[in-house]
Chains A and B, each alone.
Chain A
Amino acid sequence: MKKSKLFTKLAKNNKRFQKGDHQQGELAAGQKNNNKEEYYSSQWKLIWKKLKKHKLARVSLVILGLFYFGAIFAGFIAPQGTQEYDGEYMNAPPMSINFWDEEGNFHFRPFVYGLASERDPDTYRKYFVEDTNVKYPIRFFVEGTEYKLFGLLPTNIHLFGVDEPGQIFIMGTDGMGRDLFSRVVLGSQVSLSVPLVGVSISLILGLIIGGISGYFGKWIDVIIQRIIEIFRSFPTLPLWMALSASIPPDIPVVQMYIYIVVIIAFIEWTGLARVVRGQFMSLKNEEYVLAAKIAGVKNAKIIVKHLLPGIFSYLIVAITLAIPAMILAETAMSFLGLGIRSPATSWGVLLQEAQQIDNVALYPWKLIPLFFVVISVLCFNFFGDGLRDAADPYKKV
């Protein structure tokens, strides 16, 4: 609902822009200011210029950049690999990184203390305390488990780590003694790429189907719209369950990943198709499209040269706003056990451990992945907002 409102607003403003950005027009007309760069700028340059002025979008873009950087170099950044675990350190709390030891001496190289396990005399529950006698200085570019950088280059260098036999868990560990930070970083590969791939698939579907529907209209449009309506009226949760039930349980991770993406894209494309259709319908009545027709330009070329560039700014906005929905969808599916399964990981899988209330109460750090989900969704939304404002040619930021 909210989205559709945004688009009507955008559409209105775009109209206004085309009707008369008088001031700019006259600016050029005047003798002064004749060579302002703006006049040679395409829509894209103008959008980028305005986007740069949007603070929240800029900050979001930086954070998202960091996240994706982390996902690309996940194996390098994470101290542990996917398969690693340490039965000694189950449910260990996040470790503190220290510069001063208990005697107050400053260490130039930060260090972590060793962990000593103790047992609660009443409940017999195992818990960890910092053993201040053992210090493990943090070292950078240490050797650790083998992994493949970008899935290609085999290496065993990790960004940071501590000497054997120490361990470093800056976000604590899970119930199997796996480092949560490593899991979050490795999980981001899935959680942050699923929406991108999913959006690309639904974009292709949306562009083709929505484009056909909007440009040709008439009975084609009626049929496609009814189909979209049927798609949209399926309740999502049972649909997910049904679709993932049809996936064999013991398939490789990569295949699983593809299935998940396809399921999500399959549900989300309808929204993009509607945006494309609506925009095509209004643009095809613009006089410049008629002018191209009268110039003898072919239908396909009209679509590619006149209509598509016209809706690009809407599409970009629609895409950035569709991504958060996909992040949430993937998280929800994995959380419910319908998606990625261990030992492969994603933020949703990590949150599975937070399903029981006592788990959360005793080991609150298990909610940390949630924080990453929220931040990335927020950033995408803010970035989308910024883009929308920037794509609105009438607005001066």
Chain B
Amino acid sequence: MSKQILNVKNINKEFKVKSTKLFSRPDPVKVLKDISFDLYEGETLSIVGESGCGKTTLGRCIAKGVEATSGEVIYHSDADKQIDYLHMDKQEFKQFRKDIQMIFQDPYSSLSPRMSVYDIITEPLITNFNLSKAEVDKKVSEIAEKTGLNASYLRRYPHAFSGGQRQRIAIARALITQPKIIVCDEAVSALDVSIQAQIINLLIDLQKEFGITYIFISHDLSVVQTISDKVAVMHLGKIVEMADVEEIFNHPKHPYTEALLSAVPIPDPNVEKDRIILDGEVPNPANPPTGCEFHPRCPYKTDKCISERPDLTQTDEENVHLSACHYANELHLKGVKIANEGNE
């Protein structure tokens, strides 16, 4: 097993809410509740869940784009040093900044329309390193080649590029500091199918070449299956299930995962689908349900689920398979058969 690179421990994030009453202060909304996981070098952890489950906030907390309320993120930097950077101040964190980068969902709003592509790509480089102009130019042309950008177009402005090319620019920007970890926040969701495939392949190739660790945030399970080693399923600010991708797809141990898997439309009319349709919608995080927070939509709920909150626990003796369900081992949930017969 490769070495650990990141330990996320008990991250919490609260958002203050504007009061509707004049003098009372409402409780803050908890968007992330005790999120913990370990990340190994060169692997891809996918974080899946529906909109509003906190996956984007988690990604931003880890990339230190927003401050988490409490918790630790321990980063194993090169010299086998372990540092908790979550509450480091900017000055101290500066030396590690280059190691953790991010790619965003919307290739239109993530590139400044007033800067040329060259300036966009070089910004992290110039901010974090002290390089001569020639060195910067060399780096840029390397990165442009790696990400499939035509180097002669770099003086153009982002409005001259299509969505797929813009996402390549965003990847080039994230990659130029040679980070160890990249948080990809729905990095391919806004793209067309044929372009999406190009970008996914690019991400996979880059990972192989540079040994980057990805935190891949997505709502699309078919993409997740293609790219990830591990999957964490989030529901209402909590991880409800986490395991290796084959394990979690083949034998889901949380009803929410099962429902997510069964809801994915399959592009094959020959397959007869036996779909679990969840009732209702994602509960309001400002007013979460009692007990297991999934119980209002759970087809298997019992009285215990309504009153008692399950913890994320290890459920399997051989594999790492965490689930936050009282009946993780009793329910035999239906998964999707996948086999690890990649081109490795």
Chain A residues packing against B (C-beta within 8 Å): 17-22, 24-29, 38-43, 286-288, 290-297, 305-306, 309-310, 312, 393
Residue B65, interface by CB 8 Å: yes
Evaluate contact between B161 and A20: CB separation under 8 angstroms.
no
Residue among B157, B164, B170 with most chain A CB within 10 A: B157
Evaluate contact between B127 and A296: CB separation under 8 angstroms.
yes
Evaluate contact between A310 and B112: CB separation under 8 angstroms.
yes
In the bound assembly, the distance between CA atoms of A301 and B27 in angstroms comes to: 35
Known: A29-B165, A296-B128, A310-B112. A38 touches B65 (CB 8 A): no
In the bound assembly, the distance between CA atoms of A287 and B113 in angstroms comes to: 12
Known: A294-B64, A295-B128. A38 touches B160 (CB 8 A): yes
Q: B162 contacts which chain A residues (CB < 8 A)?
A: 22, 25-26, 28-29
Evaluate contact between B161 and A290: CB separation under 8 angstroms.
no
Least CB distance, B99 to chain A, in whole angstroms: 11
In the bound assembly, the distance between CA atoms of A312 and B113 in angstroms comes to: 12
Evaluate contact between B123 and A292: CB separation under 8 angstroms.
yes
Least CB distance, A298 to chain B, in whole angstroms: 8
Evaluate contact between A291 and B104: CB separation under 8 angstroms.
yes
In the bound assembly, the distance between CA atoms of A306 and B112 in angstroms comes to: 7
Evaluate contact between B127 and A17: CB separation under 8 angstroms.
no
Residue B332, interface by CB 8 Å: no
Evaluate contact between A24 and B160: CB separation under 8 angstroms.
yes
In the bound assembly, the distance between CA atoms of A67 and B102 in angstroms comes to: 53
Q: B60 contacts which chain A residues (CB < 8 A)?
A: 290
Which residues between 96 and 127 of chain B lie within 8 Å of chain A, taking CB atoms? Answer: 97-98, 100-102, 104-106, 108-116, 123-124, 127
Least CB distance, A48 to chain B, in whole angstroms: 15
Evaluate contact between A295 and B124: CB separation under 8 angstroms.
yes
Interface SS, A side: helix
Residue B155, interface by CB 8 Å: yes
Known: A25-B161, A296-B127. A40 touches B156 (CB 8 A): yes
Evaluate contact between A25 and B109: CB separation under 8 angstroms.
no
Return the contact of B102 from the options A38, A291, A309 (Cβ within 8 A). Answer: A291
Residue among A25, A305, A309 with most chain B CB within 10 A: A25
Chain B residues packing against A (C-beta within 8 Å): 60, 63-65, 94, 97-98, 100-102, 104-106, 108-116, 123-124, 127-128, 153, 155-157, 159-166, 170, 173, 177
Q: A20 contacts which chain B residues (CB < 8 A)?
A: 108, 163
Can you identify 7 A-B contacts, CB atoms within 8 angstroms? A17-B113, A19-B109, A42-B114, A43-B157, A295-B123, A296-B98, A310-B114
Q: A305 contacts which chain B residues (CB < 8 A)?
A: 115
In the bound assembly, the distance between CA atoms of A27 and B162 in angstroms comes to: 8
Evaluate contact between A288 and B157: CB separation under 8 angstroms.
no
Least CB distance, B15 to chain A, in whole angstroms: 13
In the bound assembly, the distance between CA atoms of A258 and B94 in angstroms comes to: 47
In the bound assembly, the distance between CA atoms of A43 and B128 in angstroms comes to: 27
Evaluate contact between A18 and B108: CB separation under 8 angstroms.
yes
Residue among B63, B94, B115 with most chain A CB within 10 A: B115
Minimum CB distance partner of B100 in chain A = A294
Evaluate contact between B161 and A28: CB separation under 8 angstroms.
yes
Minimum CB distance partner of A295 in chain B = B124
Minimum CB distance partner of A28 in chain B = B160
Evaluate contact between B111 and A288: CB separation under 8 angstroms.
yes
Q: B164 contacts which chain A residues (CB < 8 A)?
A: 29
Least CB distance, A105 to chain B, in whole angstroms: 65
